[in-house]
Structure 1
Amino acid sequence: MQSVDTLTRAELADAIHRQLGLSRAESLSMVESILQHMVTALSDGENVKISGFGTFLLRDKGERMGRNPKTGVEVPITPRRVLTFRASQMLKDRIAGA
């Protein structure tokens, strides 16, 4: 079984620190600023596209009937907005080649 690692904000900031030579505090501030800008755009109903990486899309799902898998009872699922991610072709190609 393959080990699953998680890339954290601190690791992103450290990569910026190493590659751009900014201080650790400036690097972390940059990461936080970018993430906050993305969150604000998404909460305002905008999609976020990062060229060469992918697109974060908001989708409105209507009400529908679902089924409780344990009891089999049908229950209504309320309408909601969901966030999806669609990877760019460039990202898909790099992952497939890895």
Structure 2
Amino acid sequence: MNKSELIEAIAERADVPKAQAGRVIDALTDVVGDALADGSQVSLVGFGTFLTRERPARSGRNPRTGETIQIAASRTPSFKAGKALKDRVN
């Protein structure tokens, strides 16, 4: 399912126009992204938690030259599914 299909499905289930559903999806992604950028996590009970994980610095290899390079430490977004979502999928 892509973004336009998601907007269409939400518009049908919530009985709202597609434009309004699109604005809601855009607002949700903006709020979650801003929270993660600030180091916070967003928990939706029954669905899951959006959070960031720390990736330590490590060494890697350039596949073209075989040269060893240093890869900097970084934060990466992550999602941890809640129990209700896991049960629904299984």
TM-score w.r.t. length of structure 1: 0.73
2:41 partner letter: N
Structure 2 gaps of 5+ residues are none
Deviation of 1:58 after TM superposition, in Å, equals 0.6
User: Residue 39 of structure 2 aligns to a residue in which SS?
Assistant: coil
RMSD over aligned Cα atoms: 2.0
In the alignment, the residues of structure 1 paired with residue 46 and residue 60 of structure 2 have an alpha-carbon distance, to the nearest angstrom, of 37
Counting aligned pairs with the same residue, the percent is 36
Q: Which runs of 5+ in 1 are unaligned?
A: 1-6
Q: TM-score, normalised by structure 2?
A: 0.78
1:41 aligns with one of 18, 35, 38: 35
Quick one: higher RCO (CA 8 Å, sep 6+), 1 or 2? 2
Which residue is equivalent to 1:94? 88
Q: Does 1:75 align with 2:69?
A: yes
Paired residues for 1:18-37 under 5 Å? 18-37=12-31
Shift of 1:75: 3.2
Q: Which amino acid aligns with 2:17?
A: S
Q: How many residue pairs align between the two structures?
A: 90
